Chains A and B, each alone.
Chain A
Amino acid sequence: MAKRYGDEEDIRQTVSMTFFQCIKRYERKDSAKGAIPFSGFLYSYFFYLLKKNVDTFLIDQLGRKTFPLIMDDTYDQEEDNEQPGFTPEPIEYTLEQFISTDELNEMWVLGEKTILPFDQLTVQERQLIKWRFVDGKKSSEISQKINEHPNTVREHLSKIKLKLRDIIIEHDMKEMIKDLNIKKES
């Protein structure tokens, strides 16, 4: 089924990850017939979660369209528009503070521990953010994972960045606007 997408290891990892997600979510509850065993929970829940993960990690990634080549790798470079006058020293935030969660894991990607503005992104967009900025993967490495050209990955990341900016402005998240020096008119 997914043979043409990736290797067996990808699929095995997706299945194992789903299994651990089930374990994480399982809480032993009593029913009229007694306590619900783990197997009962697993058999009734696993396949739904696996379908979701197969779509996310094995199928949807290929649905991405390809964008034109970007000749210069300028994605990581800051725009150096100098402002006149005194500018206070930027406060150093950790990545976790910006992303507003203590753990940057697959659950965050799936949207379970995600808050504004990242909850407005799709699972695929959060996955790209995690790979690029949390796992520190290069665009070329990500491109191999999702079967796309590196420039397409950069284009996706640029679009996500713009989308996040728009979400922050739309929700008037003053602290983030200030901390990230976002200009509303741009």
Chain B
Amino acid sequence: MVAYKEQYYNLAESEIQELIAKAKKENSKAQEELLKVFNNFLTKYVSLLYHGRYNLDDYDIRRFISLFVKNSYVRFALMKNKLNRVNYKHVQEVMNRHTVYGQKIW
């Protein structure tokens, strides 16, 4: 696992709202700007999905991964960030995409 330094955007909410209003009107500059502002947030999902790198201390990532975990006990432990070794292995297997919902995907 790779540790991430979560960096939240430091734009004022009014500026964000302005960008969102423009982005909704298909303003490409505003869309690009928003992508830049939320780059850290979005990149952690790309890293998880493509590189398989994730940080279970990140609550967003735990919630996202939990959607792939069928076992409710493991899911609960994952949400609370209290995985034991067996549950941790289960989560790793899910994220390695060997099985999701009991089906071999790849």
A interface vs B, CB < 8 Å?
1-5, 8, 11-12, 14-16, 19-20, 23-24, 26, 28, 37-39, 42-43, 46-48, 50-51, 54, 58-59, 62-63
B38 near A15: Cβ-Cβ < 8 Å: no
B63 interface residue, CB < 8 Å from A? yes
How many A-B residue pairs lie within 8 Å, measured between CB atoms? Answer: 76
Chain B hits for A14, CB < 8 A: 49
CB A53 to nearest CB in B, in angstroms, measures 10
In chain B, what residue has the closest Cβ to A52? B67
A58 near B16: Cβ-Cβ < 8 Å: no
Chain A hits for B88, CB < 8 A: none
Question: Given A1, A11, A23, which contacts B34 in the complex, CB threshold below 8 Å?
Answer: A23
A47–B20 Cα distance when bound, in Å, is 19
A47 near B63: Cβ-Cβ < 8 Å: yes
Q: A51-B67, A63-B105 are in contact. Are A15 and B45 (CB under 8 A)?
A: yes
For chain B, the bracket of interface size reads 20 to 34
In chain A, what residue has the closest Cβ to B30? A23
A42–B66 Cα distance when bound, in Å, is 17
Chain B hits for A38, CB < 8 A: 13, 16-17, 20
Chain B hits for A8, CB < 8 A: 46, 50
A23 near B20: Cβ-Cβ < 8 Å: yes
Question: Given A1, A2, A23, A43, which contacts B23 in the complex, CB threshold below 8 Å?
Answer: A23
A37–B38 Cα distance when bound, in Å, is 14
Beyond A3-B50, A63-B103, 18 extra complex contacts between A and B, CB < 8 Å: A1-B97, A2-B49, A2-B97, A12-B50, A15-B49, A16-B42, A19-B38, A20-B23, A23-B24, A24-B24, A37-B16, A38-B16, A39-B9, A39-B16, A42-B38, A51-B64, A51-B67, A63-B105
In chain B, what residue has the closest Cβ to A37? B13
B16 near A59: Cβ-Cβ < 8 Å: no
B49 near A58: Cβ-Cβ < 8 Å: yes
Chain A hits for B51, CB < 8 A: 3
Chain A hits for B106, CB < 8 A: 4-5, 62
B42 near A15: Cβ-Cβ < 8 Å: yes
B8 near A47: Cβ-Cβ < 8 Å: no
Q: Mark B79-106, 1 if CB is under 8 A from A, else 0.
A: 0000000000000000111001001011
CB B64 to nearest CB in A, in angstroms, measures 4
CB A61 to nearest CB in B, in angstroms, measures 11
B67 near A39: Cβ-Cβ < 8 Å: no
B46 near A12: Cβ-Cβ < 8 Å: yes
